[in-house]
Amino acid sequence: MTDNAKTGIGKTAVTRRTVLAGAAVGTALLSMPSIVRAQDKSLKVGVYGGYFQESFDQHIFPDFTAATGIEVQSISEPTGEAWLVQLSQAAKAKQAPADVSMMSQVAMLKGQAIDLWQPLDPAKIPNVKNLLPQFVNKYPDGRIAGIGAVSWYITLVTNTDVYPEAPTSWTALWDPANKDKLGLLALVSNSFLLEVTAKTFFGGANKLDTEDGILEVMQKLAELKPNVRLWYRDEAQFEQALKSGEIPMGQYYHDVTGLAAADGNPVRSTFPKEGGILDSGCWAISSASTKSAEAHVFIDYMSQPKIQATLSRNVGTAPTVARSVTDLTDDEFASVSSDIAPIIPRYDLYQTKSDWLNQKWTELIVAG
Amino acid sequence: MRPEPPRRIADYSPLAFPAVMLTVFFVVPFGIMVMVSFFRRQQGGFYTPDFVLESYARFLSTFFGGVLSFSLGLAACVALICVIVGFPFTYELARAKRWVQVSWLVALLSVLSLSEVIIGFAWSTLLSRTAGISNLLVWLGMMDKPVALTPNFGAVLTGMVYQAFPYTVLVLYPAMARLDPTLMEAARTLGSHPLKAFLTVVVPALRNTIVATFIMVFVFALGSYLLPQLLGRPQHWTLSVLITDQAVYQSNMPFAAAMAVFLVLVTLSLVGLALLVGRKDAAT
């Protein structure tokens, strides 16, 4: 409106009256509550850059703004813990580069240690009742630190040209026939191979309760090293090699593999009988954010079964709510998840024993 | 044409700007890094200001000693190969026709414009089983079936030499271009074989340039962290890779800083040693 008034003044033939009228209309419009709110209500949301951010910008944020009147500015955040470092440094200076961020579980625990997350009020998030229990992240004293945002599976992936038959078990990683054919994630805290080994060979994650148990699991894991061609940090590197058949087997993200297969690439993702690895990200509010009310609205909106189903269909993530409350068809559900009980990572280990684990892990895979 | 040596403080004023820049963008960040390396690591959190030696203590182990020696050895290999290949190459280049020189320099400069990521991915494709050069050899009938030439030490070395070679040539080129051609002519007139003249006249005449080039490429190669990951196995990861792991993935800044400080100190002392040896040689 003010723009109109300005161009009005610019015209020579304009009368004082029209200018005044224009200004009056402008003032009236500005004073209407809905417009003031639309300008005030905004939220900076941090999501993993690249594919996630594009998908959210396209499928989620516009609908959210339409439904609630809150403008979303999406912030691209790096994966890994770099974003946690930035958020905590900024919070010390009372700044919030993003009000709400999607954080990994390990980052959630590390943020809890320094009280980085604003406790969430469940009364303002009625849809919290829909969530599966593992998706409510709590401080040790019971305050809610974060709410499950999206979850995704890491599964056993293969190139269909090289492996006409899909493998059925994680034990395929140890099969001597697969020498020099695997691509595995390089870090102890993102590959979750300790959990996989514990579940596959030692009856479950309880084996990881003691350091002796962990070392035993690592010894078992050392046996598959001759099969590993690539320990990757960079996802694109493995994805490319998997598509071409250069590295025909490995662990990778179920959703991205599904998209690659849909594009006609000869790849497949298999849920092994021991279960896929279920990893997830949480929404958490930085302690420096002043937009707590809007952030609660956002988190509540995202926890609706309808929105979780939209995410599954458009982004390929597994729902954070029980399948029964969504309207996902069998096929849609199978493309993002599985009824086989998942391997849930022992995130606690990566916080309490992170340095020890990292040291042992690095020695394990670097040793020739 | 010798400029007057500076006499008054004001004569040093042109140095002020670079000095400030160097302080702000190098000395201060480095100082912060040294400071952080003494901070206390909080496992599962970040770090608190303190003065503890635990990060250095963790580094002093045979494991990290091995990684450090590998990194130094790798960088030395890269520097050596670059100088051995680059020296005769630049010698010929400096004597070639103008347009030949320009085309080579443009080609080499364009390699410089490639990022480490592109170089790494390009070489991993070139050396791959499915799309690499071994397919060409199969087609020519020189091999039975295509093989993967990566990941291994040779692939890492190839990628890093490729990346460092343009720097080598660019550092050697000015000295080569200035080299007095009559030196070679005199040697040839006195009946020396060209190869012998090259080795006994040109190489000693440019000894300082060679040492300087070697050191520069060595330091450049020491910082490489992407190529060893893309083209090597875990045992070929350099210390820089582990520093990145600690800083980016483990958020263990004190340990990452301690490793980086250690790497800088070792590098500086090696460079100092090389210069010292060079000076002694020159004196005798």
Give mean pLDDT, residues A60-73. Answer: 93
Q: Which two tokens stand for residue B208?
A: 């300082």
Indicate whether A21 pLDDT > 70: no
Nearest chain B residue to A106, by CA: B44
Give mean pLDDT, residues A242-247. Answer: 93
The span from the CA of B206 to the CA of A269, in Å, is 59
Indicate whether A51 pLDDT > 60: yes
Question: What is the CATH number that goes with domain B63-283?
Answer: 1.10.3720.10
Looking at residue B280, its pLDDT comes to 66
Indicate whether A259 and A358 sit together in one domain: yes
Q: Are the Cβ atoms of B130 and A245 closer than 8 angstroms?
A: yes
Indicate whether A305 and A358 sit together in one domain: no
| Chain B residues close to A241, C-beta within 8 Å | 128
User: A-B interface: how many C-beta pairs under 8 angstroms?
Assistant: 82
Indicate whether B250 pLDDT > 90: no
Give mean pLDDT, residues A85-92. Answer: 88
Number of domains in chain A: 3
Question: What does the H/E/C string look like for A209-273?
Answer: HCHHHHHHHHHHHHCCHHHEEEEECCHHHHHHHHHHCCCCEEEEEHHHHHHHHHCCCCEEEECCC
The span from the CA of B42 to the CA of A110, in Å, is 10
Question: Which residues, in sequence order, are CB contacts of A135 under 8 Å at separation 6+?
Answer: A147, A148, A151, A280, A282, A320
Indicate whether A236 and A210 sit together in one domain: yes
| Sign of the Cα pseudo-torsion (B186, B192, B198, B203, in order) | negative
User: What pLDDT band is residue A54 in, cutting at 50, 70 and 90?
Assistant: confident
Indicate whether A254 and A353 sit together in one domain: yes
Q: Are the Cβ atoms of B131 and A244 closer than 8 angstroms?
A: yes
Is A93 inside a domain boundary? yes
Question: Which residues, in sequence order, are CB contacts of A196 under 8 Å at separation 6+?
Answer: A170, A251, A274, A277, A343
Give mean pLDDT, residues B256-271. Answer: 90
Higher per-residue confidence, A288 vs A354:
A288
The span from the CA of A314 to the CA of A307, in Å, is 10
Question: Which residues, in sequence order, are CB contacts of B198 under 8 Å at separation 6+?
Answer: B88, B91, B184
Indicate whether A157 pLDDT > 50: yes
Looking at residue A13, its pLDDT comes to 44
Give mean pLDDT, residues B197-204. Answer: 89
Looking at residue B37, its pLDDT comes to 93
Give the pairing of strands A277-285 and A100-104: antiparallel
pTM for the model stands at 0.81
Indicate whether A5 pLDDT > 80: no
Is A297 inside a domain boundary? yes
- Which of B:40-69 have CB within 8 Å of A? 41-46, 58, 63, 67
Shortest distance, CA B151 to any CA of chain A (angstroms): 7
Looking at residue A36, its pLDDT comes to 44
Q: What is the mean pLDDT of chain B?
A: 89
The span from the CA of A333 to the CA of A323, in Å, is 8
Is A37 inside a domain boundary? no
| Chain A residues close to B128, C-beta within 8 Å | 241, 244, 246
Indicate whether A165 and A88 sit together in one domain: no
Quick: pLDDT tens for A270-286. 999 999 999 999 999 99
Indicate whether A314 pLDDT > 90: no
**Measured between CB atoms, does B18 come within 8 Å of chain A?**
no
What was the ipTM of the complex prediction? 0.83
Indicate whether A197 and A83 sit together in one domain: no
Q: Domain of residue A21: give its range.
A: 2-32
Q: Are the Cβ atoms of B44 and A229 closer than 8 angstroms?
A: no
| Chain A residues close to B229, C-beta within 8 Å | 233-234
Shortest distance, CA A85 to any CA of chain B (angstroms): 7
Q: What is the mean pLDDT of chain A?
A: 86
The interaxial angle of helices A105-113 and A82-92, nearest 10 deg, is 30
CB–CB of B253/B40 below 8 Å? no
Indicate whether B103 pLDDT > 70: yes
Give mean pLDDT, residues B103-129. Answer: 91
* Lowest-pLDDT choice from A6-15, A25-34, B140-149: A6-15
CB–CB of A331/A338 below 8 Å? no
Shortest distance, CA A89 to any CA of chain B (angstroms): 10
Indicate whether A140 and A184 sit together in one domain: no
Indicate whether A322 and A263 sit together in one domain: no
Looking at chain A, which runs of residues are DSSP E strands? 42-48, 71-77, 100-104, 136-138, 144-159, 182-185, 228-232, 249-253, 267-270, 277-285
Indicate whether A171 and A273 sit together in one domain: yes
Indicate whether A61 and A92 sit together in one domain: yes
Is A296 inside a domain boundary? yes
- With pLDDT > 70 as the criterion, what percentage of chain A qualifies? 88
Looking at residue A38, its pLDDT comes to 47
Indicate whether A258 and A349 sit together in one domain: yes
Nearest chain B residue to A235, by CA: B230
Q: Are the Cβ atoms of A354 and B250 closer than 8 angstroms?
A: yes
Quick: pLDDT tens for A99-130. 999 998 888 988 998 899 999 999 999 999 88
| Chain B residues close to A355, C-beta within 8 Å | 41, 43, 250, 252, 255
Indicate whether A50 pLDDT > 80: no
Q: Are the Cβ atoms of A110 and B250 closer than 8 angstroms?
A: no
The span from the CA of B191 to the CA of B203, in Å, is 18
The CATH number of the domain holding residue A247 is 3.40.190.10
* Lowest-pLDDT choice from A28-37, A146-155, A217-226: A28-37
Q: Are the Cβ atoms of A366 and B234 closer than 8 angstroms?
A: yes
Left if phi > 0, otherwise alpha if psi is -120 to 50, otherwise beta: which for A89?
A: alpha
Nearest chain A residue to B58, by CA: A359
Q: Are the Cβ atoms of A237 and B230 closer than 8 angstroms?
A: yes
Quick: pLDDT tens for B55-96. 999 999 999 999 999 999 999 999 999 999 999 999 999 989
Indicate whether A179 and A273 sit together in one domain: yes
